[in-house]
Amino acid sequence: MTQLIDPFARAIKYLRVSVTDRCDFRCVYCMSENMQFLPKKDLLTLEELDRMCSAFIRLGVEKLRITGGEPLVRRGIMTFFDAMTRHLDSGALKELTLTTNGSQLAKYADDLYAAGVRRVNVSLDTLDDQKFADITRWGRLPQVIKGIDAAQRAGLRVKINTVALKGFNENELFTLQSWCADRDMDLTFIEVMPMGDIGNEDRLGQYWSLSDLRARLAEQFNVSDLAERSGGPARYVQLAETGQKIGFITPMSHNFCESCNRVRITCTGEIFTCLGQEGHSDLRAPLRASDDDAVLEQAIHKAIGLKPKGHDFDYSRQSVDGRVSRHMSHTGG
């Protein structure tokens, strides 16, 4: 089977798949409060998601991350995770993981571990109950903490993803860092990205450069760069005093495009070969056109051939340039 190589000689090994655009939160940097979600008929069925992911695995994808929206609100989603277990058992798939808001982890943590999941990323931007309710609009912090507890008991390695938001969680930098260190969890900070219409929220006002955040960490810790990569966009440092690993995802202040080995599939079967570009291809039509996966695989190769060198996100001119119109919940985090 021909491997997936993009026009810049990058082998595509990492697939992120959104299984739903729906979520039980309405985070202010991700969604508007009154979202219009896609009709269910437009979504790939769980069986179609299996075919899609299996085709990519045959073509060399070794890491599969399930995203949303909130993936665990998709009805019957554990049947999909259970189906993917066969690719872990065969050795073709090296890792099956997911990104979640944590709201459903208490319910699904044991089942996820049984399906072969060993790591989960939990999105968590504050440890203050009221601020959490404010930023998620519909979420409640105790429910997420309960989910994280369940995930750790089940044997899942938890990494916390925190969006760095100016004027919101700047004063919690060391609180979050210390809380994660106490629980033996890695922590990754993410710069806010200009995706989708979120109503009255100010993207530029939200933006907190991670170079500033790192400088603040260096005031209290000896910070050293790590060479390791997780297959994603994060660059890591280690805090000598705690041994803790801190990640930085910096699409704005320092893009990570040169080593990009990943693509994203939406819940409707569109492939986005770059998070920060509008360009995409439809894989749902070839998927549904034939029971023979040859048509689908040909479409996948064609889409990978259009993968750009990098994104165009830019806040440097005091305006949000490179904005893309779709919400993060549609593409998948």
The string of DSSP codes covering 292-315 is SHHHHHHHHHHHHTT--S----B-
Query: Does 105 reside within a domain?
Result: yes
Detail the residues annotated as belonging to a binding site.
16, 23, 27, 29-30, 65, 69, 99, 123, 159, 193, 257, 260, 262-264, 274
Binding residues for GTP, as ranges, are: 16, 65, 99, 159, 262-264
Average pLDDT, the chain: 87
Asked if residue 157 has pLDDT above 60, the reply is: yes
* Segment holding 191, helix H or strand E: strand 186-191
Determine phi and psi for 265, rounding to 5 degrees: -110, 130
Which of 73, 65, 66, 67 is closest to 23 using CA atoms? 73
CA 155 – CA 244 distance, rounded (Å): 19
**To which residue do tokens 């931007």 refer?**
125
Domain-located, residue 104:
yes
* Residue 174 CA neighbour count, 13 Å, CB half: 8
- The pLDDT value recorded for residue 29 is 81
b/e for 294-304, b at 16 or more Cβ within 10 A? Answer: eebbebbeebb
Interatomic CA distance for residues 287 and 295, integer angstroms: 7
What's the domain range around 84?
14-331
Say yes or no to pLDDT of 182 above 80: yes
3-class DSSP state of 276: coil
Residue 4, domain member (yes or no): no
Percentage helix, strand, coil for the chain under 3-state DSSP, each rounded to 5: 35, 20, 45
Whole-number percent of the chain with pLDDT over 90: 66
Helix/strand/coil for 255: coil
pLDDT-derived band at 230, boundaries 50, 70, 90: low
Q: What share of the chain has pLDDT > 70, as a percent?
A: 84
Residue 315 maps to a domain: yes
Give me the DSSP letters along 111-169: HHHHTT--EEEEE---S-HHHHHHHHSS--HHHHHHHHHHHHHHT-EEEEEEEEBTTTT
Domain count across the chain = 1
Give tens-digit pLDDT for 239-293: 999 999 999 998 655 455 666 888 999 999 999 988 666 678 999 999 999 999 9
Least confident of 110-124, 170-184, 199-213: 199-213
Q: Each residue of 116-135: pLDDT tens digit?
A: 999 999 999 999 999 999 99
Region of 227 please: left (phi>0), alpha (psi -120 to 50) or beta. alpha
> For residue 25, what pLDDT is reported?
86
pLDDT band at 1 (very low <50, low <70, confident <90, very high): low
**CB distance 276 to 251 below 8 Å:** yes
Binding site for S-adenosyl-L-methionine, residues? 29, 69, 123, 193
Residue 323 lies in a domain: yes
Q: Is residue 326 part of a domain?
A: yes
CATH of the domain at 117: 3.20.20.70
Please report, in range form, the residues annotated as the binding site for [4Fe-4S] cluster.
23, 27, 30, 257, 260, 274
| Cα–Cα dist 279/114, whole Å | 37
In a domain, 2, yes or no: no
Question: Could you tell me if residue 156 is inside a domain?
Answer: yes
**Is residue 83 helix, strand or coil?**
helix
Can you spell out the DSSP letters for 8-59? TS-B--EEEEE--S--S---TTT--SS--PPPGGGSPPHHHHHHHHHHHHHT
